[in-house]
Amino acid sequence: MRRRPRGKRILVCPQCQSGNIVQEAGSITGAVYHCRNCQYIGALVLEIEVDEDGQPLR
């Protein structure tokens, strides 16, 4: 019997789809995010739903 995982939302990089995103502090225009995987920096990030194991839900 499979338990249905409860999804949670995480931020992923729009360039490399990595979840290794950190929010940079100190912007007056709002949140700026930094991808540690590809060094992308910007306000635009993707938000996806994942299960408890961090796998994206479809």
Residues in contact with Zn ion by CB under 5 A are 13, 15-16, 18, 35, 37-38, 40
Q: Which residues pair with 47 in a beta bridge?
A: 11
Which residue, 10 or 40, has its beta carbon nearer to Zn ion?
Answer: 40
Which residue, 16 or 57, has its beta carbon nearer to Zn ion?
Answer: 16
Which residue, 44 or 57, has its beta carbon nearer to Zn ion?
Answer: 44
Min dist CB 40 to Zn ion, Å, is 4
